[in-house]
Structure 1
C-alpha cells in the first residue's frame, strides 16, 4: 500500500495514521450539500437510474432466482409490517433492509447493471438501491436533490474503494461489488438522514465487519452472486441504525492495520492519498459505464468483435475450423478458464462468465440477442463452436481489451482486436441506446406507454419524488 511515510513503508507498516482516510470519507458524507451537484452529475444520475430500473425489472421477470428469493425474504420478515416497496410487483409492506435487499438482488440478477472499470465492480446496484429505499422511507422529508446527492456519494465511495482494492481482491476470493458496496450504501443512507460525521464514521466501522461476497459462486453458477449486493444494502441499513443508537464501531476501518483494504486485497500499490484526493470536487464515478450486453464486462469486447465478424457472412459451426481468443491475464480466471462449466456452461451465471459461450453466440446469432441468449444454453451449434475455442492470455492486453481470431474451413482468417468495451468513455454507449436497452427490458411487462412514462419522469426527476417513481413502477 502506498504511504506517505517512507520509514513505515520500509518496515512493512502499511497502516498510515497520517492519512485519516476513514475520517475523510465520513466528513465527505456528513458535509455533502446539493449545491455540489453539477449538471453533469444530475444528467449522469438520471442515466444510471433509467438503466438501474430497466435491469431490475428485467431481473424480476426473467431470472429464475426471483421467486425463491422473494419467497424466502417474505417468510423471514413475516406479514406486512413495513412501509417500503420492492420494485415492480415485488412484495409490498417491506422493512427497508428487506426492500433494499430485494431491489439490489433484482438489479444484479442479469449481470446487466453498470460497471466501474478501474474498480472492477458494479457501483450503482448498492448505491441506488440504498438511496431509493431510504428516500421512500423518508417520504416528503427527502427532497429529490438529497436523493440525487446520495446517489452520487454512494457511487463515489464504491468507486474509490474499488479502485484501491483492484482486481487483486478477486484473487483473494472477494467480490468487490459487495465488499466495497456496503460502504457506498452506508454513505447514501447517511446523506439522506443527514447524519453527523461521528455517526457516519461509526457506521463505516461497523460495516467493516459485514463486508462480504465470496467468488466461490463461480464453482457452480450459484445465486450467491445475485444476492451479494442485496446483502450489502441490507447490512448497510443495519449498521447505520446501530451507529445512530450509539453502538461503537471500529475506528480507521479503511486504513488500519487490520482494516478493510488490508484484509480484502493483496494489491501492492494501494494509494491512500488517491483514495481521498479531490473528494467533493473530482467525481471519478462519472467514468462508470452502462453495459450493452448482459454478461461479464470482461467478455464485452469479444461479443462485439464476434458479432461484427458474424454479420459479414452466414455462420454455422461447420464453417469454422478454430477460434482463438487472447485476453488479459487478470481476466482468465473469471471468463476464460478451460473448465467444463466455462467451455460448456449449463446455467445462466456460468454462461455470463464464459467467453467461449459469448463468442459462439455472437458469431452465430449476433451481438444484440440480449437476455434471450441464455435460452440457447443447449444449442448444439454454440456447443460445437465452444469446443473449437482456445483461450490464452497476453500481458500486453489490459482491462477489457481482447484479441479474436476465427479460422474458417475454407482457409480464410478473420482477426480483430479491441481495446475498450462499448460503454466506456473511450467507446461511449449513447443515450438513445440507453433508452433502447431500457425499453427492451420494460416493454414486455410494462407496455410501451408505461415504460415511456418512466423515462419521462426520470428525465424530469427534479419535479417528482422517489415515492412517485415507485408508484409508477408498481
Structure 2
C-alpha cells in the first residue's frame, strides 16, 4: 500500500488478500485511519464544493421540516430532554429546535430528524443514506470546537471524508447486508461520522484507528422496523452519530479499540454482510482522496424509499392521462433486491397505517401518485386512510422483474391494464436525482423552500442559502453563523 502524504491520496501497490476475514487481508482499517489523519483540504475540487453545497442545503431543509412536522419528533425530543432536565450542557444546535445541546446529543437529534421523512440523500451503489450521519456529525463537532473555529475548508473536508467512508463501506456490504437484517445507513455511517469528527479535531491515525475499533461494537441498525413501521429506522443515524462521538472520546483518552475491525475474520464486513465473496478490499481504499465516489449521491425528489421513486414518477405521469376508474390492474416489476423492502404483498404494505410503512410501500406510493400527482411531498401521509388510494392499491401487484438489466439500481417497470382492454408499459431505469436523470440546482432550491416554507419566511430562506454558500465558497461566515440561523 502506498499513501501519498502530500495530499492524502491512497493507491494500492501491495498484494495481500482482497477478501475480508483472512489473516492476510489488506489492512484497510489502518489505511482508512492514516488517510483520515493526513487528508488535506487541497483535495477539495470545485465540482465537489458544488456537490457538498447542495447536500448540506438539502439536509438542512429536511431536518427542519421533520423537526417541525414529524409525528415522532415530540416524543423523541421529550425523551432526550428528560435525561438532563434543565441542563442541556453544550453549545450545539438542533435544527429548528434550539441550541445548548452537547455535541453527541445534537448529532443524535439532527441525524434522526434528517432521516425521519425518508427525504434524505441516497447513494445507490451502497444502498444507504450517507448525509444523515456525515453532516450531522460534522456540524455538531464543528460547533463544539467554537473556541478553535475550524475553517470552512476543514469543515467541508470533514463532510467529504465522512461521506466517502460511509459510501465505500456500504458498497462492500452491498444489498446482501439487508438480508442479514442490518441497515447500511447506520452500520456504515458510524465509521463515516468518526471520520468527520477526527478530521475536524486533527486526530492522529492511532486514535482514529482505536475509535474505528470501538465503533465495531456499536455499529447497529435492525431492519425489523419493517414489521410494524416503527420509529427505530428514524433513530438509526442519530444513534450512529451519538456513538461516534462516544467512540472518539474514548479513543482520545487512550481506550483501546479492536484492531482490524473492518477486515478481520470477526470484523465489520465479515459479520454484517454475507457477501464476503463479492467484496474487494483494494476497491474499498484505492483512490481515496482523489476518486470521490460519494459524488454519485443523489438528492431525493420524493419523501419515500428510493426504491419507489421510479414508481412514483411513472404513476404521477400516467395519472395525468388516465382516471383511476379506467384502470383494471397495475403490475409493478421490481428488482429482486427491492421486492422485499417495498413490494411484498403484506397488509402493512398494501394498506399502510403508519408513515414508515407508507414510505416503504410501492402500492401506496403508486396509488397516491396516480390520484394526487408526484409533487405532494409529505402531504401524501395525510391520506393513509384515503378510500381512493385503498381501492386502487387493491388493483396493484408487485412482481420480481425477470428483465433486471432494464430496471437497474432503483429502476422499475410499470404495466397497466385498462378496463377497455388497452395495455401500456413504461420502464424507467434511473430514478430522478441520479446523474443519468439529474436533479438540477433549481429543483434543489425548490425542494428546500417546500420543506421550510411553512415556518421560515423568504428572508430567512435566503439567509440560510447564503450562509451555506459562504461555507462552501470560501466566505467569512462559518458553521457557527449558519447554525444560529437554523436553530
The two structures share one fold, judged by TM-score above 0.5: yes
Give the Cα–Cα distance (whole angstroms) in 1 for the partners of residues 436 and 50 of structure 2: 18
Match for 1:323 among 323, 330, 339? Answer: 330
Measure the CA separation in 2 of the matches of 1:196 and 1:264: 27
| Residue in 1 that maps onto 2:295 | 286
Distance 1:81 1:174 in 2: 32
The alpha carbon displacement at 1:408 in A equals 1.6
Hey, what's the Cα distance between the residues in 1 that align with 2:115 and 2:374?
Answer: 21
Q: State which of 19, 29, 32 in structure 2 corresponds to 1:25.
A: 32
SS of structure 1 residue aligned to 2:99 = coil
Aligned residue number for residue 145 of structure 1:
153
SS of the residue aligned with 2:330? strand
How far apart in 2 are the matches of 1:127 and 1:299? Answer: 24
Query: 250-259 or 70-79, which moves further after superposition?
Result: 70-79
Q: How does 1:112-191 map to 2 (within 5 A)?
A: 112-141=119-148, 142-191=150-199
Which one of 217, 221, 225 corresponds to residue 225 of structure 2?
217
Contact 1:406 1:413 in 2 (8 A): yes
Whether contact under 8 Å (1:400, 1:421) holds in the other structure is yes
Equivalent positions of 1:2-81 (< 5 A) are 14-15=21-22, 17-81=24-88
The answer on whether the counterparts of 1:96 and 1:137 sit within 8 Å (CA) in structure 2 is: yes
> Normalization by structure 1: what TM-score?
0.96
Quick check: 1:88 aligned with 2:98?
no
Quote the residue 1:255 is aligned against.
Answer: 263
- Aligned residue number for residue 247 of structure 2: 239
Q: Is 1:99 aligned to residue 106 of structure 2?
A: yes
**SS of equivalent to 2:410:** coil
Cα deviation for residue 312 of structure 1 reads 1.9
Alignment TM-score, normalising by the size of structure 2: 0.93
* 2:186 alignment partner, SS class: helix
Structure 1 residue 170: Cα displacement: 0.3
State the alpha-carbon separation in 2 of the partners of residues 84 and 351 from structure 1: 36
Q: How many residues align?
A: 466
Q: Aligned residue for 2:375?
A: 368
RMSD of aligned residue pairs (Cα, Å): 1.5
Alignment of 1:278-427 (within 5 A): 278-313=287-322, 315-316=323-324, 318-397=325-404, 398-427=408-437
Q: 1:448 aligns with which of 458, 462, 470?
A: 458
Q: CA deviation at 1:396?
A: 2.6
Rounded to whole Å, the distance in 2 between the matches of 1:36 and 1:89 is 32
Flag structure 1 segments of 5+ consecutive residues without an equivalent.
Answer: none
**Alpha-carbon separation, structure 2, partners of 1:321 and 1:89:** 45
Alpha carbons of structure 1 residues 284 and 378: separation in structure 2 relative to 1, 3 Å: same
Shift of the alpha carbon at 1:145?
1.0
Q: Secondary structure of the residue that 2:185 maps to in structure 1?
A: helix
Superposed CA deviations along residues 45-90 of structure 1, whole A, max 9, x for unmatched, are 1110000001101111121000000000111133224223343342
Q: Offset at 1:319?
A: 2.1
In 2, are the aligned partners of 1:309 and 1:414 still within 8 Å (CA)? no
How far has the Cα of 1:92 moved from its partner? 2.9
Inter-partner Cα distance in structure 2 for 1:330 and 1:39: 35
Q: Do the aligned residues in 1 keep the contact of 2:333 with 2:399 (CA within 8 Å)?
A: yes
> Does the 8 Å CA contact 1:439/1:451 hold for their aligned counterparts?
yes
Q: Is the 8 A contact 2:412 2:429 kept in 1?
A: yes
> Would you say the 8 A contact 1:26–1:197 is kept in 2?
yes
Q: Distance in 2 between matches of 1:22 and 1:16?
A: 13
- Return the offset for 1:383: 0.5
Distance 1:395-1:190 versus aligned 2 partners, 3 A rule: farther
Deviation at 1:443, TM superposition (A): 1.1
Q: Distance in 1 between matches of 2:192 and 2:76?
A: 23
Residue 449 of structure 2 aligns to a residue whose secondary structure is helix
